[in-house]
Amino acid sequence: MNFIRYRSINIAIPAVLTVSLLCSISMCRAQSQTGGGIQGKLQGKLQSQLTFPSLLSVEQAVQICLERNPAAAAARAGAESALASYRSLASLPSPSLGVSYANGSSTSPTISGTNTDTFIEISESLDTSGQRRYQAASAHAQYLSAWFTFGETQLTLEQQTKDAYWGLAAARALLTYNHQTVQEAEKIYNLVKAQQAVGQSPRIDVVRSGIDVANAKQADLAAIGAEKEALSALNTLLGRAPELPITLQIDIAAAPVSSAVSAFNPKSLAARALARRSAVLAASQLEKAAAYTVKQNRAANMPDFSVDYQRSVIQAVDALVLSIHMPLVDFGANRYQVRSAEASRKQAAAQLKGIQQQVAQQVNDAVVAYQQARDQLNGYAADILKPSITLREMAQAGYREGATGILPVIDAETTLRSARTGYINCLLALKKAEDALNAAVGESVVK
């Protein structure tokens, strides 16, 4: 009976085996250079740590959010992970080094033909079928998709931060107006009470004025709660504790109103968005990745070439073995993998088309909403806010002169309170419409 003892150690080492190996992955190396440039931008972005400013501007709020918000960090880490995965596949495969010891009683258990020998073996499989090359190309497209997804996350966070900034500014403007309303209502109440004491106003006017003071204080309490909620929302986006104070640089009531965009055509803006929006670009890269996966699965039916070199350390004997490996029979495993990959490619293509339609709709809706918000703001300021201020002044003057009772004054105060609230809400709606339009197009079209 023949008896053989065979021991081997396989060690992976980085090396370049043949020129054929370099040629088989030349496409991957070219793509790796492209990915390196993007990684430089990825690592160079958003690395500085800011000290929180004493007066926070909109631009500073956006920058802090992009640096500290966990969603941005997660998207950035996802892009870095995809890049590392791609580079792993784009790198030259490592040949294996083995040290083997053979001892047996057969006629030739070793390459030297002796019963005992120790030999070194270097082997490598060449990607002649293209499976690894297509897998690397798919990983490159997935990396680009992750990069564009990171960009879309930044765009979304920028819009959310601006909306939260203006939401806090609006809440504080309403809080200031409500404080003023309480003070004005208390002044009227004290005036009515003084006139009632000298017999110039009936008791009912004092009661009615007191109710107006109470209503003003209730509205003021509601405004205080709304301001705290808006502060919490902005702090959360900035990666801070919800209760930390923030001093805004801009008062929304004094903020400049942007110019009209009536000259912009929604179709032209939609075309710009489809060419620039990261969401569209990410979906496009996913479609490419799915197409490469189809090619990879089809390449599994093609042969691969392997090289195996052995050399004895005892005798000056070596051997070179060249092999071709190819599937003999496919019982359906690879065939169905190809079908699955093709279905995934169709799904990615349909998703890309859906995202394109969604982006076009977002642009059209954003243009309509922005134009509507501008028209409402202009009409509200001219037709409601200014007349409401005039109405209150006339009512107060009439009451002081004894021409009217307290009810016209209270009604005028209520009308002005509602007008101020509506005006601030119109300003907030315009600012949010600006942010939505810029985000829908993927660039600043309204400044």
DSSP string, 124-158: EEE--S-HHHHHHHHHHHHHHHHHHHHHHHHHHHH
Q: What is the mean pLDDT of residues 136-158?
A: 96
Q: Does residue 3 surpass a pLDDT of 70?
A: no
Q: What is the mean pLDDT of residues 258-273?
A: 76
Range list of β-strands (E), 318-361? 318-325
Give the three-state DSSP class for 310. strand
- pLDDT for the residue numbered 401: 82
- pLDDT for the residue numbered 315: 77
- pLDDT for the residue numbered 259: 55
CA 221 to chain CA centroid, Å, is 36
Q: Does residue 12 surpass a pLDDT of 50?
A: no
CA 228 to chain CA centroid, Å, is 26
Which residue, among 362, 363, 371, 361, has the nearest Cα to 429 in the 3D structure?
371
Q: Does residue 2 surpass a pLDDT of 60?
A: no
Please answer whether residues 415 and 227 qualify as being in contact, where contact means their C-beta atoms are separated by less than 8 angstroms.
no
Please answer whether residues 167 and 429 qualify as being in contact, where contact means their C-beta atoms are separated by less than 8 angstroms.
no
Give the three-state DSSP class for 395. helix
Q: What mean pLDDT is reported for the chain? A: 83
Q: What is the mean pLDDT of residues 195-217?
A: 87
Longest Cα separation, the chain? 133
- pLDDT for the residue numbered 306: 86
Superfamily assignment of 41-95+127-304+330-441 in CATH?
Outer membrane efflux proteins (OEP) (1.20.1600.10)
Q: Indicate the range of 111-115, 343-347, 386-390 predicted with least confidence.
A: 111-115
> Quick one: pLDDT band at residue 18, thresholds 50, 70, 90?
very low
What are the backbone angles phi and psi of residue 210, rounded to the nearest 5°? -65, -40
Mark residue 113 as left, alpha or beta (left: phi above 0; alpha: psi -120 to 50; beta: remaining).
left
- pLDDT for the residue numbered 143: 96
Which residue, among 145, 148, 154, 147, has the nearest Cα to 348 in the 3D structure?
145
pLDDT in tens, 320-376: 888 888 888 888 888 899 999 999 999 999 999 999 999 999 999 999 999 899 889
> Quick one: pLDDT band at residue 1, thresholds 50, 70, 90?
very low
- pLDDT for the residue numbered 184: 87
Give the whole-angstrom CA distance, residue 266 versus residue 274.
Answer: 12
Q: What percent of the chain has pLDDT over 70?
A: 84
Q: Does residue 256 surpass a pLDDT of 80?
A: no
> Quick one: pLDDT band at residue 445, thresholds 50, 70, 90?
confident
Sequence-distant (6+) residues with CB within 8 A of 27 are: 133, 136, 137
- pLDDT for the residue numbered 27: 39
The torsion of the CA quartet 432, 161, 276, 265, rounded to 10 degrees, works out to 10
Q: Does residue 30 surpass a pLDDT of 50?
A: no
Beta strands across the sheet bearing 116-126: 4-12, 96-104, 116-126, 304-312, 318-325
Q: Does residue 113 surpass a pLDDT of 70?
A: no
Q: What is the mean pLDDT of residues 230-239?
A: 96
- pLDDT for the residue numbered 403: 80
- pLDDT for the residue numbered 262: 53
User: In this predicted model, which residue has the larger pLDDT, 259 or 406?
Assistant: 406
Give the whole-angstrom CA distance, residue 355 versus residue 445.
Answer: 21
Give the whole-angstrom CA distance, residue 34 versus residue 385.
Answer: 57
User: In this predicted model, which residue has the larger pLDDT, 315 or 114?
Assistant: 315
Q: Are strands 116-126 and 96-104 parallel, antiparallel or unpaired?
A: antiparallel
Look up the pTM and report it: 0.77
Range with the largest mean pLDDT of 48-52, 93-97, 105-109: 93-97
Q: Does residue 439 surpass a pLDDT of 50?
A: yes
What are the structural domain ranges in the chain?
41-95+127-304+330-441
pLDDT in tens, 157-173: 999 999 999 999 999 99
- pLDDT for the residue numbered 321: 83
- pLDDT for the residue numbered 23: 33
- pLDDT for the residue numbered 266: 87
